[in-house]
A and B are shown apart, each in its own frame.
Chain A
Amino acid sequence: MTWYAFYGALEQGFVYGLLVLGVYLTFRVLDFPDLTVDGSLPLGAAVSSVAITAGINPYLSLLMAMGAGFLAGMVTGILNTKFKILHLLASILTMIALYSINIRIMGKPNLTLLGTDTVLDSVSNLGLPPHMSAPLLFACFCAVAVVALVWFLHTELGLTLLATGDNAQMITAQGVNTHTVIIFGVGLSNALAALSGALVAQNQGAADVNMGVGTIVAGLASVIVGETLFGCRSVARAMIAAILGSVAYRLAIALALGLKLGSFSFTPSDLNLITAILVIAALVSPQLKSRFRK
């Protein structure tokens, strides 16, 4: 692997790290498997790129993207809590609706950002080469998100959120309305996914309606790889592990892309298989290790 490929993997790991934080919130904290992210990631990209092409400040466009993502998550939450639709189905419904909405927002399936100002321009002035400044910027976003989330989860609402995922019945018995908590939690998760999507679009030069396909798979793989490799004893540690898991997942892909073993060479179509094997290896290794100890 070259340094460029290494920094490229860091950059992708951190920029999708925000999404992984969102997936961690729903999947682990709320115990709510949420497929909305496949739609809210491109939603964030769509809102942000439409805003930027309309002349709005790229940083401001991130806030708008987060707002849109929050609303999308709320829809899933409301469908689930108020209308008693199973969480998986509720999130799939929102996801497919977002496909059409995203094309509406952009006016076409692919909106280019090549040649426009993005948040990456603000770090390019630091004097670092672009392949280093992008991962640095996205790592900062992740750090801010983790600090904000840790703070939030220690507030009263945050503690209720944690408790709702653990034992909803107990929380209801305490007189707390779990519906509001779930709607807010899923909204927050999708706000992070949309922020991630907005940054992804600014980083890769275009928003595309199909960019969300498979987002949840990458998100879940990152959360699980992170837990396995880096532990999850406290909330803060679990969140840092989730982001590092995202980086590890992208490193696995970078590795698969550059893999050449002597005279045997892999074909490009092997990429998915190699990535899956590398992720499985990360998942299995701790079990093997504990078996060796016995």
Chain B
Amino acid sequence: MKRIILSLVVTMLCLVPVMASAAGKVISVSQFVEHPALDAVLKGTQDYFRDNKLDVTFNVHNAQANMATTVQIAAQIMGEQPDLVIAIATPSAQACAQKIHGTPILATAVTDHVGAGLVKSMEHPGGNVSGTSDMLPVARQLDLIREFHPGIKTLGVIYNSGEANSVTLVKLLKAACDAAGIKLEEATVLNSAGIYQAAKSLVGRAEAIFLPTDNTVISALESVVKVCRQNKLPLYAADNDSVERGTIAALAFDYYKLGYQTGAMAKRILFDGADVSTMPVESLQELSLHVNLKAAEAMGVTVPESVLSRAEKVIK
């Protein structure tokens, strides 16, 4: 018994990582889960420093979608005593904001920094947290759908009601639809198993379907595509990867660019002496339009010339 405990303690002591005394700056990263968009954010941030030849060491931690682990990662980061913390996605950002004080934190891939309690206001964060928001320009996305379907009266949306970001986005979408005189038909899912049924429930109820950047829905996008092809129901997404996978079009921003922009903010704090508490939360304004002609044909939609001419990428 005692020997087991002793051997455990000894093992732990042997594994104590020796902190490398790097001359450059140290950035600790707390990422919530491995996911293409979130991975792209991290890559964008790291590439910013590489491209600008700045000496920065990254300590990357990933909670594998476990909230208890986000808190332990925050403790781990305190031990690393970095010059700056980058928290990717809401749960990681909240855990870091709660536990880490005195070190600047940039929260990225968070939709609503104010709603998540990370900052006092988007313009004046006030504490040690600022960052970049992945708030979607839903009004401009709705405009795109209306360009395809000029007199559209009902729009369907599928999302997981347990994802905070999706709930925020759908609330904004509803406001935009109300303003445009469109009825929003909502179908909510609990997990990826319910998505096929949710998509089917919108057949006959909606003239087109829009998918926000919902982790649950996008992970099982193919089942929605199938239903939409079978029923000639036009399908639009909020991210460009989904266009490749079978939606008609998306007006989206690039998570890699969001990470790159976060890198630029981090550089201003680390090397130019900027104060995080006075740095407004930034968001990307630059959007790219992707169109999938094959999907449009399968869902019985003609792509307007105006859309086609300004598309950044057309999949034939």
Contact = CB atoms under 8 A, between A and B. Distances in A.
A-B pairs with lowest CB-CB distance, top 3: A8-B75, A2-B79, A112-B117
Interface string A201-228: 0011110111101100010000000000
A229 B9 CA distance: 13
B16 interface: yes
Given A205-B97, A268-B62, A9 B75 contact: yes
A8 B72 contact: yes
Interface in A215-264: 218, 229-231, 248, 250-251, 253-255, 257-261
Nearest to A202: B98
Contacts of A260: 17
Given A8-B72, A12-B68, A229-B5, A112 B94 contact: yes
Given A214-B66, A257-B72, A1 B16 contact: yes
B71 interface: yes
A109 B162 contact: yes
A208 B91 contact: yes
Given A204-B71, A208-B67, A257-B73, 15 more contacts: A2-B76, A4-B79, A110-B116, A113-B117, A131-B75, A206-B91, A229-B4, A230-B1, A251-B12, A255-B12, A257-B61, A258-B15, A258-B16, A268-B31, A268-B61
20 contacts: A1-B17, A7-B75, A9-B72, A11-B75, A110-B94, A110-B116, A114-B118, A204-B67, A204-B95, A204-B98, A204-B99, A205-B117, A214-B66, A229-B1, A230-B1, A231-B1, A248-B8, A254-B72, A259-B17, A261-B15
A125 interface: no
Given A4-B76, A5-B79, A8-B76, A271 B97 contact: no
Interface of B: 1, 3-5, 8, 12, 15-17, 31, 34, 60-62, 64-76, 78-80, 90-91, 94-95, 97-99, 101, 115-118, 161-164, 167, 190
B18 to A, nearest CB: 9
A8 B91 contact: no
Interface of A: 1-5, 7-9, 11-12, 16, 96, 99, 103, 108-110, 112-115, 130-131, 200, 203-206, 208-211, 213-214, 218, 229-231, 248, 250-251, 253-255, 257-261, 268-269, 271-272, 285-286, 289
Contact of A5 (B60, B72, B101, B118): B72
A152 B197 CA distance: 48
Nearest to A214: B66
B257 to A, nearest CB: 23
A258 B14 CA distance: 12
A243 to B, nearest CB: 15
B31 A1 contact: no
A293 B221 CA distance: 57
B209 to A, nearest CB: 22
Contacts of B67: 200, 204, 208, 210-211
A12 B16 CA distance: 20
Nearest to B29: A268
B97 A114 contact: yes
B75 A112 contact: no
A271 B64 contact: yes
A85 to B, nearest CB: 21
Contacts of A255: 12, 15
Contacts of A258: 15-17, 76
A103 B15 CA distance: 42
Contacts of A112: 94, 115-118
